[in-house]
A = this chain, B = another copy of it.
Amino acid sequence: MTTKITMEEMRAAYQRTAPFLHKTLVITSENIDEKVGNGTHVLFKCEHLQKTGSFKARGALNSAILAKEKNAKGMIAHSSGNHGQALAWAAQKIGLPCTIVVPKNAPISKIEGMREYNANIVFCEPTVTSRESVCADLTEKLEYYCVEPYNCVSMINGHSSVAFEILEQVGNEIDSIFLSVGGGGLASSVAFLIGNLRPDIEVYLVQPAQKELSNFLENGIKCPVDTLDTIADGVRVARVGPLCEPILKQYCAQKVISVKEDEIKEGLKLIWTRMKQRIEPTAALAFAGVLYHKPAHIKRPLVILCGGNVDTNYVIN
């Protein structure tokens, strides 16, 4: 498998995955622009409309194609959400068996999503230890290729296609990109590519306040908890991966924005009611960064709406 995060590998990943992916829409809303105010024009990259309902399909597909080229017997991961659905879809697309280790308290809708793509589901206890040990045992036994959700070179190189598309679609219209940061897979991919190709475009990382990513990137002090208490369930992992850390330090150390839970909810409400796009709370996190904490000099931000996998009975309280 690829072992480096490089512009060359990112270009190759974009080329090999593009035929199977959606080039997702970039949309705008006059009503949202009025709400944000100060003459700001916000653009939204619709990754909730990507295959499997999140950007994860990009990296997962790149990983699956590379695994197939290396004659992998199958793919495996542990996931309770978007990563598992994306990997199951990618494996089916490429013709590889796929096993997902799922904590037994995972939402039924996500499990059904994985099953729809013919993944083999193995349940484990709802703890990080159980997820990792069950997955490690199965990886060895099945001799499958194990794909980490964010700390993974082929995922990071694969995700970069979203940044290539942004530059092609609206590269000359934006001054910044705002994205939600969890483990750092999407963040490091976009920051690396934009930092190399278009360093004039600022990449902002939007986090739930409890994450304290600035303190880590600037002072090396790790977040004291493993898991964040936030409605943005896609970024509950508190710490960024070791592969992501140096990239984020280099490109985004001064560009971390903290958002409160109520601000995420307000952002979510606005996008649901005004744009009629059924995004998930984690996607609203990035928008809340623009809505409430945008630096004054930013006038043309692009928000990556990272996903739209939310249960039909989910209510904004």
Contact = CB atoms under 8 A, between A and B. Distances in A.
A277 interface: yes
A312 B313 CA distance: 11
A22 to B, nearest CB: 10
A269 B312 contact: yes
Nearest to A112: B273
A307 to B, nearest CB: 9
B312 A315 contact: yes
Contacts of A272: 278, 312
A109 B312 contact: no
Given A313-B315, A313-B316, A315-B312, A276 B277 contact: yes
A260 to B, nearest CB: 18
Interface in A266-290: 269, 272-273, 275-279
A53 interface: yes
Interface of A: 48-49, 53, 109, 269, 272-273, 275-279, 308, 312-313, 315-316
- In the A-B complex, the 3 residue pairs with the smallest Cβ-Cβ separation, listed nearest first, are A276-B308, A278-B278, A276-B278
14 contacts: A48-B276, A49-B275, A49-B276, A53-B276, A109-B273, A269-B312, A272-B312, A276-B277, A276-B308, A277-B277, A278-B278, A312-B315, A312-B316, A315-B315
